[in-house]
Amino acid sequence: MKIVIAPDSFKESLDAASVAKCIENGFREVFPDAEYVALPLADGGEGTVDVLLQGLSGNKYTTEVMGPLGNTVAAQWAMLEPSPSNPKRTALVEIAAASGLDLLAPDKRNPMLATSFGTGQLMLEAIEQGAEAIILGLGGSATNDGGAGIVQALGGKLLDEQGKEIALGGFALSQLTSIDLSELDERLRNIDLTVACDVANPLCGENGASHIFGPQKGASSEQVQALDSALHHFATVAMQQHPSVAKADTLEISGYGAAGGTPMGLSLLFAMQLKPGIEMVLDTLNADEVLKGASLVVTGEGQMDNQTLQGKTPFGIALRAQKQGIPTIGIAGSLGTEVDELYSAMGSLFGTVRSPQPLEQVLKEAEINLTRTARNIAATLKLGSAILN
């Protein structure tokens, strides 16, 4: 019996590899002779670099770059070595590493000023180190600057009506008059860029970057309106001055609202491919081959509810398993009140928290509770098999 264990992390308690190990330990108590294949996953946000490095050959690096509010941060990224399935030297970069929300204390978060400049510096460093392709994960950003900081870091000039470069940050885009791309690094045109995101929001409007994600990044209701207007202005100037790269439907493109509108700026620099994060990870790790011959898939994440349907890891791997006729069980730190639609892809769902507890205790006991839950699931499967036989 082959069991593929393919979870995301349990945020703030266990990384994806640790989650997979706990589940395997629980199952081994009941099925010691089964074949276990660990496939830790991520959906393009924090942890994506580590997940891909566990399944592929490469090296991790640390580069000092500009943080979201101008401070210096030590940001990690990785370079994958060429392989038969991936012949190009490919850099793995997370926007969260250089421009992430977790880099700022809650009282310091300010999307009016936060910049993606440091992410552009990481991409430039990867190119300096010989990258021919870049995979950029967009989860967890502190920014709402439409990727303008990346444009500025890679040689683009965003100018005001006096011909001076505008300041960094989302609100400064309201002062934008012209976009000068004449001094872009020439190497950009040869880079294959895959952008991984787990949202389908457009750039602007009530469902756009500023309105949906701005408040969690520290924006007041008035700032949300200002940031949305600034992003709209950025897109308008880009479409007017650079129609060959800024598409006419820029304001409607699904996913352009990810990471504070970062795909907007990237579209000025690259012929990028925008993919759901989990699909990018599954394809890069050749998950369909890993699943072949499996009797069961066990997946999970910290919180599971109907939002899991929106490009999250458990739903993504469950759909891949479903195509091969493999049943999937989901384990979550906690289950939301709305999970009914998840049963379309997962046979059963389990939460690990035994009783109402303070969050600190839940996080502390995550490993024990997860292992115990996995063991109980395996025991139930064994009991069911015995009864049916």
The pLDDT score that the predictor gives to residue 45 is: 78
String of DSSP letters for 192-228: EEEEEES----SSSTTSHHHHHTGGGT--HHHHHHHH
Do 96 and 61 contact (CB within 8 A), yes or no?
no
Is pLDDT of 355 > 60? no
CATH topology of domain 48-278: Glycerate kinase, domain 2 (3.90.1510)
The pLDDT score that the predictor gives to residue 358 is: 67
pLDDT tens digits, 299-352: 999 888 877 777 789 999 999 999 999 999 999 988 887 888 888 889 999 988
CATH number for the region 2-40+295-388 comes to 3.40.50.10350
The pLDDT score that the predictor gives to residue 55 is: 75
pTM of the model: 0.85
The pLDDT score that the predictor gives to residue 356 is: 62
Collapsing DSSP states into helix, strand and coil, what is residue 275? strand
| Residue partners of 118: CB distance under 8 A and separation at least 6 | 65, 66, 67, 68, 73, 75, 98, 99, 149, 153
Residue with tokens 């199952």: 27
Query: CATH 3.40.50.10350 occupies which residues in the chain?
Result: 2-40+295-388
The pLDDT score that the predictor gives to residue 362 is: 63
Please give the order of strands across the beta sheet that includes 133-137. 58-66, 72-80, 90-94, 133-137, 192-197, 273-276
The pLDDT score that the predictor gives to residue 172 is: 97
Do 111 and 232 contact (CB within 8 A), yes or no?
no
The pLDDT score that the predictor gives to residue 314 is: 92
Neighbours of 118 (CB within 10 A): 29
First to last CA, the chain: 17
Query: CATH 3.90.1510.10 occupies which residues in the chain?
Result: 48-278
| Residue partners of 316: CB distance under 8 A and separation at least 6 | 41, 43, 276, 278, 279, 282
CB-based burial label for 142 (10 Å; 0-12, 13-18, 19+) = buried
**157-175 core/surface letters (b: 16 or more CB in 10 A; e: else):** bbbeeeeeebebbbbbbbb
d(CA 172, CA 355): 48
Q: What is the enclosing helix (H) or strand (E) of 119?
A: helix 117-128
Do 3 and 30 contact (CB within 8 A), yes or no?
no
Q: Rounded to the nearest 10 degrees, what angle do helices 366-388 and 16-28 cross at?
A: 40
The pLDDT score that the predictor gives to residue 353 is: 80
Neighbours of 216 (CB within 10 A): 11
82-86 own/partner pairs: CB under 8 Å, 24+ apart: 83/56, 83/57, 85/286, 86/56, 86/284
Do 112 and 214 contact (CB within 8 A), yes or no?
no
Residue whose C-alpha is closest to residue 77's, from 14, 119, 133: 119
pLDDT tens digits, 170-195: 999 999 999 999 999 889 989 999 99
When pLDDT is cut at 50, 70 and 90, the band that residue 359 belongs to is low
